[in-house]
Amino acid sequence: MGHYDNCRPENCPTCGQALGVVWACGRKYCTTYHKWLLTNNPKEYKKIINEIKLEQEAEEEKRVVKRQIARQTKAIAQKAKLEAEGG
């Protein structure tokens, strides 16, 4: 399976599996693999889904903190600009 398999719109972008083919590719983010796990290994499926969920929550937290820092930095710069103009 090469790049061509991954770039076909009907195939899984993660592992290149064709639409409708369900096998154990082992790729953590492959939704087709998730379907295979759901029927063959529900415990592993739950484990992977929880890991992905935790990663997504951590990424969201990083984005929120980054926006807060940018907002605070902008406010500090604005305050300093006003003080410099007025003083």
| Cα 1 from chain centre | 24
Please give the span between the terminal C-alpha atoms of the chain, in angstroms, as a whole number. Answer: 67
- Whether residue 33 contacts residue 26, with contact meaning beta carbons closer than 8 Å, is answered with yes
6-16 pLDDT per residue, tens: 666 677 777 77
Please determine, for residue 58, whether its predicted confidence score (pLDDT) is greater than 90.
yes
Token digits of residue 87: 């003083």
Segment 25-42, tens digit of pLDDT: 888 888 888 888 999 999
pTM for this prediction: 0.67
The structural domains of the chain, with segments of one domain joined by +, span 1-40, 54-87
Structure tokens at 45: 């499926």
